[in-house]
Amino acid sequence: MTEEPVGTQLQCQNCGARLIGPYCHHCGQEARPAVRFFGSLVVEFLRETISLDSRVMRTLLALLGRPGFLTNAYLRGQRKRYVPPLRLFLFTSLVCIFAIWLLNITGERELVVDTGGLATENGDAHAFAAEVGNTDPVAPGLVSATRTGEGLSLTLPGVSEEDTRKLEARLEKSVDKIRSDPNDFANDVLENVPQATLLLVPLFALLMKLAYLFNGRYYVEHLIHALYGHAFLFLAVLLSVGLDLGDTRLSASASPSLQWLGHLLGLLEVLLLFWVPAYFLLSLRAVYGQSWGMTLWKGLCLGLCYFALFLVGLVCLLLVSVLVT
């Protein structure tokens, strides 16, 4: 089959619009036939890949080192050179969660639950399920959970006895599964983190809308800023995990030069931890343009409110993970 020259194509093969150039003015498709020589397909693949990689790298560098820049660029209409906010959020969240999940299943860093109920690395989680319910009642007068010789006993106000027994049986089954395979439970929690974070993004955008109520910005503008901010958080977590892993491995090396490099990675990790709150304040200052005094005050209020939302979301996430285990 011979390839039809671009100049002889009078209509777009996708939408049927009349062509006046190498690209359709209506749908944007290039005026080239689908069936071409293999070499041209390889060239097209490399061209698209290089273009995509440069766009992603440009966006990630701006995301990491220029607080608020991507939000302002997007709102100004400069959207071609950078990855859109929602796509960037999904990309960074999935890569981050996949990296942590991969480290978990390979044994590099086991995210399990110890007897204190905290996430630990390479810890012993088998005692966790045995300790569930052996503590004092949670929120006395509202909800309590105790373990007796007959099993787990719940006290839930406003819930019928039959429904309480069903929930006890479900929780007892989940506790047994967590005891037998705590890492699988940790993986289940990690798999739900992107969905939980996706729910926190519009709530955080609403908080910013309330904090900057008289700024004259629409809610969607705050949402764009929130998406870029959470994408930065996922990128920071990913870099922190990588730096910590490199620090641990290189510091244990017998080579002094590798040990020095490991300590350098550890220093970069500490600097990254300080950069996260500074980045948040600088992004507020860059996007909303208020004085440093107002920025610090609103940043503190937004940080505390978001931390409270995060704790509520984390508790709900753990409950959902237990119930579906």
Q: What is the DSSP string of 76-136?
A: TT--SSS--HHHHHHHHHHHHHHHHHHHHHTTSS-EEE-TTS-EEES---HHHHHHTT-SP
| Whole-structure pTM value | 0.68
Alpha-carbon gap, residue 122 to 99, rounded angstroms: 17
pLDDT, residue 249, reads 87
Per residue of the chain (325 residues), give pLDDT as tens: 444 444 455 788 778 888 877 778 778 777 776 555 666 666 666 565 555 567 888 899 999 999 999 999 999 988 888 989 998 998 888 888 788 777 766 655 544 444 344 344 444 444 444 444 444 444 444 455 565 555 566 565 656 677 667 766 777 776 676 667 666 666 666 666 666 777 889 999 999 999 999 888 999 999 999 999 999 999 998 999 889 888 888 888 888 888 899 999 999 999 999 999 999 999 999 999 999 999 999 999 999 999 888 888 777 776 766 666 5
Alpha-carbon gap, residue 71 to 206, rounded angstroms: 16
235 within 8 A of 63, measured Cβ to Cβ: yes
Alpha-carbon gap, residue 81 to 307, rounded angstroms: 33
H helices then E strands: how many in the chain?
9, 4
Contacting residues for 250 by C-beta, under 8 A, at least 6 apart = 258, 259, 261, 262, 265
192 within 8 A of 320, measured Cβ to Cβ: yes
Helix, strand or coil for residue 153?
A: strand
pLDDT, residue 120, reads 42
Strands (DSSP E) along the chain, which ranges?
111-113, 119-121, 144-148, 151-155
12 within 8 A of 31, measured Cβ to Cβ: yes
pLDDT, residue 148, reads 57
Q: How many CB atoms lie within 10 A of CB 187?
A: 18
Query: Could you tell me the two tokens for 112?
Result: 């399990």
- The residue among 271, 238, 304 whose CA lies nearest residue 100 is 238
pLDDT, residue 3, reads 46
68 within 8 A of 285, measured Cβ to Cβ: yes
- The half-sphere exposure of 98 on its side-chain side, counting CA atoms within 13 A, is 6
Query: Could you tell me the two tokens for 282?
Result: 């600088």
Alpha-carbon gap, residue 154 to 265, rounded angstroms: 47
